[in-house]
Structure 1
Amino acid sequence: MSLPQRFLDWFSARGWAPRAHQLAVLDHAQARESVLLISPTGGGKTLAGFLPSLAEITERGSGEGIHTLYISPLKALAVDIARNLEAPIAEMKLPVTVETRTGDTPHSKRQRQRQKPPDILITTPEQVSLLVADPHAAHLLKGLRTVILDELHSMVTSKRGVLLSLALTRVQSHAPEAIRIGLSATVADPDALRAWLASTGAEPAPLVLGKPGAKPEIRILSSVERVPWSGHSSLYAIPEVYEEIKRARMTLIFVNTRSQAEMVFQALWEANDDNLPIALHHGSLDVAQRRKVEAAMGEGKLRAVVCTSTLELGIDWGDVDLVVHVGAPKGSSRLLQRIGRSNHKLDLPSQALLVPSNRFEVLECTAALQAAEVNAQDTEYPMVMKLDVLAQHILGRACAGPFHPDELFGEVSSAWTYRKLTRVEFDKAVDYVATGGYALRAYERYAKLKLQADGTLRLAHPRLAMAYRLNMGTIVEDEMLKVRLAHVKRRLGKRVVVGGRVLGEVEEWFVSQLTVGQTFVFAGEVLRFEGLDEFGALATRSNDREPMVPSYQGGKFPLSTYLAERVRQMLADPKSWKDLPPQVRGWLSLQRFRSVVPKAGQMLVETFPRADKHYMVCYPFEGRLAHQTLGMLLTRRLERAGMQPLGFVASEYALVIWMVRDLSLAISSNRIALGRLFDEDMMGDDLEAWMAESALMKRTFRNAAIIAGLIERRQPGKEKTARQMTVNTDLIYDVLRTHEPDHLLLRAAWDDAAEGLIDAHRLGAMLRRIKGQILHKALDTVSPLSVPILLDIGRESVYGEGHDALLAEAANALIDEAMRLV
């Protein structure tokens, strides 16, 4: 079966023709082969994924159950895809029904979908897990022919992707003839995605490549203002960004964090003398507010939107002709993904402006621009083998009905993500779900499975199915409080605050630090904190000029290893400095005059006295997480060496440690050898000892315990607070460390900490890289290169011009000190 004539006529009526990669995907689908399509933004990936299904449903007729399961990483993208798909279906008069199923879908609609399923169901990864945990899943999926995984590259690098891979093994067991169509932007390792789509031991899915799009046109802001030495606000550039907004039809302004989004939006609003319609969009805003902004974008009613990653995937947001990236993008693939929102067509170049927040970010933005020019990719490798996710899947499998461990092991190990899972590890995961493990089996509350006479396992109690549905998923967020815009009334002469509409959510720990009367920025407004009621935080509008900005745990992107290497190479090559702004070029030239610039492959370590302390600054350029871990381990070693370290600060680019003793003297007298100080063996006993003492392990254990179902965050009619869960998990953590140190959840927590919070793999690679390549420079005073990291010492998160003025004053003092001739 080729493309039906009515499809060809539809293309022709619009002056189009099916693209080669769209027809290639159709050929593979009609041959019943899974396939991976990699195509740039605007290349028609989504239509390529749906064409085989639309053609086949048209041929066979509608109403025979779910034919195609389309899986989107975002609820907003799922809704947008459904809306966009309805147009060609209506125009071609196709007998195809399309519906969505997300976390926002009402229960009544889900019940109706069970009775009368659509031909195409558009959903999210979590909903697929819930679908296969339903006892009616076999009936719902018996006619399934195709699974489409959109934006696959964005899903496979997290636990969401790991859980999805397990859910798809259940889908495959119900519909063994179903094929998978993966849709992805350009990635660093296409073969990994091809293998991810296939079952263990099977040939990887064939690869179809779309035609490259027009080369993006990217600029770096060459500001007339002084580029800050440190900080991440980019407020110095707001007047110039505002002028760019005025010249464009619609601008997307991407930032890396929610707090930065609030700050930039507020600054733009203050600069908005022309009353341009500028909006704010990030994940903590109320869903109704986000949908309102999305609708206004689609209708072309906005001139600019300040946003986070919530708007970076596949959605076509109308007439966007410029993307401004405030702050360094941290990765070339992320930059290409975001700027692809501009001129969302294959043959039109994306227009982008990079706005570095500080001088080191100028180097990073330059490296990102050069990487984008050659379409270099630095996407992460797919995440695999998460034991807490496996435990959640096992419980979900039991919710669907009794299962035999032998059959489930075969099913789970067929997923590429669990291809190396041993039977011993699997049996431990099953035992954990069934009993809680050796140390917890005496407590009935942790026994969730019962062994039956025929060797199968079933749920120990029906209420566990409800608990699973309420708690499933892999995204563990900190406790959030709703913020409502309140209004003040006078009752009997007293000031009474009455709650109003919900603006969104902030993390509980931030609200706990506020006192009544303090102001903060949220949802694009300056708010005065009025206190708490049973529903959350109450706030009224304020005109305060220097409010606080809520910060959020996590959410910061690490500097990619690829960009880090490019920055190191740029720093080592003075000839490449000619492309840098004069301010930055002069800064690096001063560094070469006062200290030294490391060669490619070297790591510079500077030591110098300042005031009554002694400082060591090193420049690994390996990202904040790796540097923080390095700082913790080095301070332990320096303490043992008698140097009396007092503290450290890490940035994306450098690490500074200050101490009482003179490190320059200790190195010159051979009391301390830098090669030994930075030896890779710190990743052994030192790392384990620090992890055992730190709160990091307890935090990661708490997350693993929630994902694995040990702690139920939500129960029918009530929800545990973050404090309750922390107390519970801390007690269990201590019990397991004492009585069962190889417990599944302790292993899962260690794996998460090493991979995420401490970036142990990257730190280990860095220590191997610099072995024998450490360049030490003892100085009498601070160096120009050290000024940014020294400014980070003792910084507080403050908003407003006063903060920038203080930072500039401190920078001037440090630079004067660095340039003082002795």
Structure 2
Amino acid sequence: MPSPSDLASTWFASRNWKPFAFQRSVWAAIQRGESGLLHASTGSGKTYAVWLGALRAFAQLHDARRPAPLQVLWITPMRALASDTARALQAPLDELGLNWTIGVRSGDTTSAERARQARRMPSTLVTTPESLTLLLTREQAAADFASLRLVVVDEWHELLGNKRGVQLQLALARLRRWQPQLVVWGLSATLGNLPHALEVLLPAGGRLVQGRQDKRILVDTLVPSAIERFPWAGHMGLKMLPQVSAEIEASANSLVFTNTRAQAELWYQALLEAHPEWAGLIALHHASLARHARDWVERSLKQGTLKAVVCTSSLDLGVDFLPVERVLQIGSAKGIARLLQRAGRSGHAPGRTSRVTLVPTHSLELVEAAAARQALAAGHIEARYSPRLSMDVLVQHLISMALGSGFRPAELFEEVRSTWAFRDLEESQWQWALSFVRNGGSSLTAYPDYQRVAAHPDGIWRVASERLARRHRLGIGTIVSDASLQLKYWSKGGGGKSLGSVEESFIARLKPGDALLFGGRILELVRVENMTAYVRRSTARKAAVARWNGGRMPLSSELAQALVERLDAAAHGRYEGAEMHAVRPLLTLQASWSALPTQRTLLAETLHSRQGWHLFLYPFAGRMANLGLANLIAWRVSRVQPLSVSIAVNDYGFELLAASPVDWAAHLPAALAADNLLEDVLASLNAGEMALRRFREIAQIAGLVFGGYPAAQKSTRQLQASSGLFYEVFRKHDAGNLLLGQARDEVLREELEIERLHQQLQKMSGLRLDLHALRRPGPLAFALLVEGMRETLSTEKLADRIARMVADLEKAASRTMSDLAGTERRKS
């Protein structure tokens, strides 16, 4: 066996590989006991930079006659990645003959394997943030991690910006307390704010290693054969099916990414209907499918036996599918980091080109495609920021640490404050959290279920009862979503094969006998009982498509800026690239009937129709920020004159539809002022109702609301009702409850994007208002009109209405384009 210092070089040489400079740098840093963050392109060798560094540094530290004790903890953001990661880490061990063992600990780990790990931890444990916290609640947790030397946080960018990352920060603080010399390394490929990412992961400091970023990424676009001059979102892009099919046919292996599970279901079904001969050669993959179905797809991808997989973000991360030749992205990726991540699923090896083909679902996405390539070439990747002072996560952590050996408040306070997320935690906030877990704060002291932690005479705080301990362990984690129902085939003798899960809110809209599309199959709902929806095969031709929350991702600031730059260039007659040449007729029509947005102007349009008086404004701020702007402007104008408006938004802008005339030219300058933003936003929205919805998630994370035991889960309605009661009790009798303030802050920060809203108002104040009175809706306004009608018309009626509107508008557009062509001929 090679000496420890030669392990990495020996293994690389056995494969005819030569280590990159960044890999050698990480190896040496780990040998010196240094922590850091490694940022490098997807598929450039980050995993082996850290893993082989660990083997070089620690392989000699154990008796070769028996397996090494726990040395490395490998954190992955998705349990679906755990098994794949474990297989990748096993390869060098087998070839080098090292006596290390690798185990996986996640929600999918069997009870037998958990029992084995309880007796003896593997040398390397691959786990998730939630499972790590569960391990920390064990009585013998300190002994379990006594030999730990290295923690690797894979895909750090996926955890950094959310509460799962906060949960991990707290877990790392506990491990550092037990092992002050613990080495921690983060791995990431798509981060735009590396100093912050490094500081959050390593508050005491660490090295930033910039790996290979020269990986070639080819971004191209499938240009539609016909360009719609009046585009609208909502048809899933299925008009591009023949071209997508041709691209799949021309490649040995492809991933077809969609942004929603519903879209994935429709595209998979459409591909199979168009190509029955592909049955068994193409597959569907999303997070709601049963685990055995997802595992089969992942194995088949690795083996290269599938021609294509239609998928969602469930295949965004980490899994190494070397045979995949290319990626197709249906619709806008909405962000540069997401596009980069998905592109890296192809050519997933050093030296190989990654290729992603953008498939627009409507004409304006051609401009987005051109903008995405421009932003990607310029390296404009979105930043992600850690949440601060998430008190619900802190409350949960206090109870978790009170399990097992318990905690001393003063010691835990310093430990918690050592994290970036809680470095500004004040003594008063800490005392509130202690009081809340001890007796429910000032308003719940009479209820034993909220006296969850008790202070013992020895000064150690422990969970008060075994019943509360069991209940808490079932609720550990920060992932809160709509309650899910299991989907199973119906059989007379009982439940049949599991197909996966759907959200309760979708099933609640169906009745027995209705058809639904799931997993590429048309199914008939038989009955719903005990949080399970039973189905059977259906011969129906039409079916409701299962829908899940979270489908509307806002356009990122970086992509929005690149989009405006492209429109600005078009306004000045510069059309660069195939996409911009293809969409030129649409943009020419927009400029003729109104104007194009530019970097120096804020485009606004007015229109009087049978529906009323319309204002269309185009800040290009993303869906959520545009919604905040629309409500803010409507509320500010209503203080000057009585005003009742309806609102429609998309990523580009918003529509305000009033029942009476409004002089927008007079009102807009004052309505767009950045002064008193916070107060006006709160007043302009039903912020109380939004905070109540957000409080349901906070209440679940903090353990106020129990989601139920595995066989008896509570419905979303029950959870909302329970959390609503707490919300009202706190609001009336405990106004200083920090969870109330957190609910409001999260609404402002995450749902209304208040920072982006403020930045957008400041930016808009420096732009010249370019206001145009329309005779008829132009291409940009038409998309917003459709958004407004979507709320009041059924799908069939909406399609008929759109068809009539487009026919009328196309006649006018043809006359305009003919007139423009005649003008050009006369000039020449």
User: Could you state the TM-score of these two structures normalised by the residue count of structure 1?
Assistant: 0.93
Call closer, same or farther: CA 1:816–1:752 in 2, change over 3 Å.
farther
Give the distance between the partners of 1:350 and 1:693, measured in 2 at CA: 44
Give identity over the alignment, percent. Answer: 34
Worse-superposed segment, 128-137 or 807-816:
807-816
Give, in whole Å, the separation in 1 of the partners of 2:798 and 2:306: 31
Matched ranges for 1:107-146 at <5 A: 107-146=111-150
Evaluate the alpha carbon distance shift between residue 737 and residue 816 of structure 1 in structure 2; reply closer, same or farther with a 3 A threshold: farther
Please state if 1:739 is matched with 2:733. Answer: yes
Q: Deviations over 1:229-278 (max 9, x none)?
A: 11240111011001000000100011111111111111111111442511
1:596 aligns with 2:592: no
Residues 336 and 381 of structure 2 are in contact (CA less than 8 Å); yes or no, is this contact kept in structure 1?
yes
Match of 1:229 in 2: 231
| Matched AA of 2:241 | I
Matches within 5 A, 1:366-385: 366-385=370-389
In the aligned structure 2, how far is the partner of 1:448 from the partner of 1:576? Answer: 66
Deviation at 1:90, TM superposition (A): 1.0
C-alpha distance in 1 between matches for 2:41 and 2:739: 40
| Contact 2:248–2:308, Cα closer than 8 Å, also in 1 | yes
Change (3 A) 1:667 1:301: closer
Q: Which amino acid aligns with 2:19?
A: P
CA distance 1:83–1:380, change in 2 (3 Å) = same
Secondary structure of the structure 2 residue equivalent to 1:486:
strand
Q: 1:806 to 1:690 in 2, by over 3 A?
A: closer
SS of equivalent residue, structure 2 residue 500: strand
**Conserved 8 A contact 2:605-2:617:** yes
Residues 205 and 583 of structure 1: CA distance in aligned 2, closer, same or farther (over 3 Å): same
Residue 662 (structure 1) aligned with residue 664 (structure 2): no
The structure-2 alpha-carbon separation of the partners of 1:407 and 1:460, relative to structure 1 and needing over 3 Å to count, comes to same
Alpha-carbon separation, structure 2, partners of 1:219 and 1:800: 32
How much has 1:9 moved relative to structure 2? 3.0
Deviates more, 1:692-701 or 1:285-294: 692-701
* CA deviations over 1:762-813 (Å, ceiling 9, x no partner): 1122112112533322233323321111122222799999986764543333
Which amino acid is the alignment partner of residue 446 of structure 2? A
Contact 1:262–1:522 (Cα < 8 Å) also in 2: yes
The answer as to whether partners of 2:4 and 2:59 remain within 8 angstroms in 1 is no
> Which deviates the most, 453-462 or 284-293?
453-462
Provide the rounded CA distance (Å) in 2 between the counterparts of 1:21 and 1:693. 49
Partner amino acid, structure 2, of 1:252:
L
> 1:739: how far off?
2.1
2:266 to 232, 257, 263: 263
Is 1:811 aligned to 2:806, yes or no?
A: yes
Partner of 2:562, secondary structure, is helix
**Unpaired segments of 5 or more residues in structure 1?**
488-495
* Deviation, structure 1 residue 10: 2.8
Asked if the contact 1:572–1:600 (Cα under 8 Å) also holds between the matched residues in 2, the reply is: yes
Residue type matched to 2:524 in 1? R
What amino acid maps onto 1:354 in structure 2?
Answer: L
Map 1:332-343 → 2, pairs under 5 A: 332-343=336-347
Distance 1:585 1:808, change over 3 A: farther
Give the secondary-structure state (helix, strand or coil) at the position aligned to 1:577.
Answer: coil
1:252 corresponding residue in structure 2? 255
Check conservation: 1:549, 1:797, Cα contact below 8 A: no
- Give 2:275's aligned amino acid: N
Tell me which amino acid in the other structure corresponds to 1:711.
Answer: V
> 1:779 aligns to what?
774
Q: CA deviation at 1:633?
A: 3.1
User: In the TM superposition, what are the counterparts of 1:214-613 in structure 2 within 5 Å?
Assistant: 214-227=215-228, 229-232=231-234, 233-275=236-278, 277-486=281-490, 499-534=495-530, 536-574=532-570, 575-579=573-577, 580-613=579-612
Q: Which residue of 1 aligns with 2:724?
A: 730
> Counterpart of 1:782 in 2: which secondary structure?
coil
**Partner SS, residue 186 of structure 2:** strand
Deviation at 1:745, TM superposition (A): 0.9
3-state SS of 1:513 partner:
coil
Deviation digits for residues 257-303 of structure 1 (CA, Å, limit 9, x no counterpart): 11111111111111114425111000111111111111111121110
Summarize the Cα distance change of 1:498–1:713 in structure 2 as closer, same or farther, 3 Å threshold. Answer: closer
Which AA in structure 2 matches 1:589? T
Tell me the SS of whatever aligns to 1:439.
coil
Query: Would you say 1:50 and 2:51 are equivalent positions?
Result: yes
Residue in structure 1 matched with residue 60 of structure 2 by the alignment: 59
The match for 2:624 is: 625
Distance of 1:444 and 1:72 partners within structure 2:
37
Runs of 4+ aligned residues of structure 1 deviating over 6 Å after TM superposition are 796-806, 818-822
Preserved CA contact (<8 Å) 2:68 2:99? no
Structure 2: distance between partners of 1:239 and 1:522: 23
Query: Cα gap change, 1:624/1:674 in structure 2, threshold over 3 Å: closer, same or farther?
Result: same
Deviation at 1:716, TM superposition (A): 7.5
Greater Cα offset, 632-641 or 52-61: 632-641
Partners of 2:791 and 2:246 lie apart in 1 by: 30
Structure 2 portions without partners, runs of 5+: 820-828
SS state at 1:352 partner? strand
Query: What letter is aligned with 1:593?
Result: S
Q: Aligned partners of 1:116 and 1:141: how far apart in 2? A: 11
Any conservation in 2 of the 1:519–1:542 contact (CA below 8 Å)?
Answer: yes
2:603 touches 2:771 (CA, 8 Å); kept in 1? Answer: yes
- Relative to structure 2, which stretch is displaced further, 461-470 or 701-710? 461-470
Do the aligned partners of 1:37 and 1:210 also contact (CA within 8 Å) in 2? Answer: yes
Out of 770, 793, 799, the position equivalent to 2:788 is 793
State the alpha-carbon separation in 2 of the partners of residues 731 and 818 from structure 1: 56
**Partner-residue secondary structure (3-state), 1:82:** helix
Which residue identity is paired with 2:787?
D
How many residues are aligned here?
A: 806
Contact 2:604 2:616 in 1 (8 A): yes
Mark the CA change 1:412 to 1:15 in structure 2 (over 3 Å): closer, same or farther: same
> Is 1:718 aligned to residue 712 of structure 2?
yes
Superimposed CA distance per residue, residues 112-161 of structure 1 (whole angstroms, 9 cap, x where no aligned partner): 21211111111111111111121211100111111111111111111100
Secondary structure of 1:674 counterpart: helix
Pairwise CA distance, 1:517: 3.1
TM-score for the superposition, normalised by structure 2? 0.93
**Pair 1:445–1:185, CA change in 2 (3 A):** same
The equivalent residue for 2:176 is 172
Could you tell me how far 1:690 is from its partner in structure 2?
A: 4.7
CA deviation after TM superposition for structure 1 residue 221, in Å: 1.0
Q: CA RMSD in A?
A: 2.5
For the residue of structure 2 that corresponds to 1:532, the secondary structure is: strand
Q: Quote how far apart the aligned CAs of 1:457 are.
A: 2.3
1:638/1:544 Cα in 2 relative to 1: closer, same or farther (>3 Å)? farther
Q: CA deviation at 1:103?
A: 0.8
Contact residue 783 and residue 818 of structure 1 kept, 8 A: no
Matched to 2:681, the amino acid is L
Question: Match of 1:792, SS?
Answer: helix
Q: Are 2:613 and 1:614 aligned?
A: yes
Contact kept? 2:257, 2:313, Cα under 8 Å: yes
